[in-house]
Homo-oligomer: A and B are copies of this chain.
Amino acid sequence: MTRIWDPQTRFRIWFEIEAHATDALAELGVVPKEAAARIWEADKAAGDFDIDRIDSIEAETKHDVIAFLTHVAERTGPEARFLHQGMTSSDVLDTCLAVQLARASDILIEDLDALLAVIKRRAYEHKLTPTIGRSHGIHAEPVTFGLKLAQAYAEFNRNRARLVAARADIATCAISGAVGTFANIDPSVEAHVAEKMGLTVEPVSTQVIPRDRHAMFFATLGVIASSIERLATEVRHLQRTEVLEAEEYFSPGQKGSSAMPHKRNPVLTENLTGLARMVRGYVTPALENVALWHERDISHSSVERYIGPDATITLDFALARLTSVIDKLVVYPARMEKNLNKMGGLVHSQRVLLALTQAGVSREDSYRLVQRNAMKVWESDGELSLMELLKADADVTAALSPQEIEARFDLDYHYKNVDTIFARVFGEE
């Protein structure tokens, strides 16, 4: 990913755009065909661009594309004057950025695919591993660890679709001249370059490719980062000392704390939480870039010089790290079961509530009956058993027999639709 953003790659893309455009101009008879051919040959002979030389020309001209063209002229000879005919710098810069962001998208899509594969594998591995579901951090009702991962799979699958759409949004080519009117360059040149560079044609440009495209792209990265934060936060919670249902892999030789030798900390997922903040932080500057003045100003440029590499490299790194965390996540089913049982059966309270209403007790009375027993269990810190208390409550037993009460404390009951959900998320298989 970093290679996409290094100067050599950028100049290579610039050159290709310019040379392809010259080919198309040669086809139109605007420049000599031999000149177009000579440009490719001279480049092949010369190899890598001399970045120091380009920098030193730019120090004088204060214009990056002119500096580059001057350097190419030095390597190419007089035919170089047929480069950049009727084009403006933004034709090169914006089309190059489109190529870079499209390539970055391809890597990020691969990252997502790798993450999805790992989540899927672990989801099936723990499809029926019982664990407590929690709302507000409080025990609610049983789920399975596989269901947690199925949710993450569905979320990152949505993100994959969003990224594919965002990629399409930014993968356009503009070779339309100084203010986008094709005054000095035929639209067929744009079509040729677009095809060669793997882009679509920008329907209307104004010297620049409109920045709503890039805003949408970086906003999409911000959403993906937020999903990373969600899964990372889940792991951080699971690794808490009191919960400890899962743990980041802790390699031999690793040290958790310089002061406390007993520590094993979820540092990778905490790191991911911070990285998510950064990628999100790049969304607003990208949105502010949209309202350029008239046909363009250059305020977007410095922003993109930061967030182009920073957002894509950070997200690439974060997706790879998250994939590794999930891949190697140490899961403790025994501890999950222990936690699940620690509240004296409170997690079954809803089923008793429903059984009472089915037995003719009003919803309000049912709620009251269950709650008054549940609160005792709650306050006993799980020492008391909800089932036993209910069986000893005359108002409850007036409606439900002991057997009917006991039947509501069955774990498998909760998992009868896991197959259905997995089929929805992963497809029939």
How many residues does chain A have at the interface if contact means C-beta atoms less than 8 Å apart?
167
Given contacts A147-B204, A277-B303, A350-B178, contact A363 B80 (CB under 8 A): yes
A350 touching B135, Cβ below 8 Å = no
- Which B residue sits closest to A413, measured CB to CB? B183
Given contacts A223-B219, A256-B63, A283-B283, contact A349 B262 (CB under 8 A): yes
Most interface-central of A62, A222, A264, A290 (chain B CB within 10 A): A290
B212 touching A363, Cβ below 8 Å = no
Which of B141, B278, B339, B416 is within 8 Å of A242, CB to CB?
B339
B290 touching A239, Cβ below 8 Å = no
- Which B residue sits closest to A386, measured CB to CB? B262
Given contacts A154-B203, A259-B177, contact A237 B137 (CB under 8 A): yes
B223 touching A216, Cβ below 8 Å = yes
CB proximity to B under 8 Å, residues A181-234? 181-184, 187, 201, 203-207, 210, 212-213, 215-216, 219-220, 222-223, 225-227, 229-230, 232-234
Most interface-central of A136, A284, A374 (chain B CB within 10 A): A136
A204 touching B150, Cβ below 8 Å = yes
Looking at the assembled complex, report how far the CB atom of A144 sits from the nearest CB atom of chain B, in whole angstroms.
8
Tell me if A140 is interfacial: C-beta within 8 Å of chain B.
Answer: yes
Most interface-central of A86, A294, A413 (chain B CB within 10 A): A294
Most interface-central of A233, A293, A296 (chain B CB within 10 A): A293
- Which B residue sits closest to A371, measured CB to CB? B261
Q: Which residues of B contact A302 (CB under 8 A)?
A: 271, 274-275, 278
Give 27 CB contacts A-B under 8 Å: A61-B253, A62-B251, A81-B363, A133-B294, A135-B263, A135-B294, A136-B263, A136-B298, A137-B239, A154-B210, A178-B350, A182-B420, A184-B354, A215-B226, A219-B222, A219-B223, A222-B283, A226-B291, A234-B294, A236-B293, A241-B342, A242-B342, A264-B378, A273-B291, A277-B299, A280-B285, A288-B288
Tell me if A417 is interfacial: C-beta within 8 Å of chain B.
Answer: yes
**In the bound complex, CA of A236 to CA of B56 (Å):** 27
A135 touching B278, Cβ below 8 Å = no
- Which B residue sits closest to A360, measured CB to CB? B81
A354 touching B86, Cβ below 8 Å = yes
CB proximity to B under 8 Å, residues A76-120? 78, 80-89
Q: Which residues of B contact A139 (CB under 8 A)?
A: 241
A84 touching B258, Cβ below 8 Å = yes
Q: Which residues of B contact A277 (CB under 8 A)?
A: 284-285, 288-289, 299, 303
A285 touching B291, Cβ below 8 Å = no
A226 touching B290, Cβ below 8 Å = yes
Which of B134, B178, B204, B378 is within 8 Å of A421, CB to CB?
B204
Which of B85, B239, B274, B357 is within 8 Å of A138, CB to CB?
B239
Q: Which residues of B contact A266 (CB under 8 A)?
A: 136-138
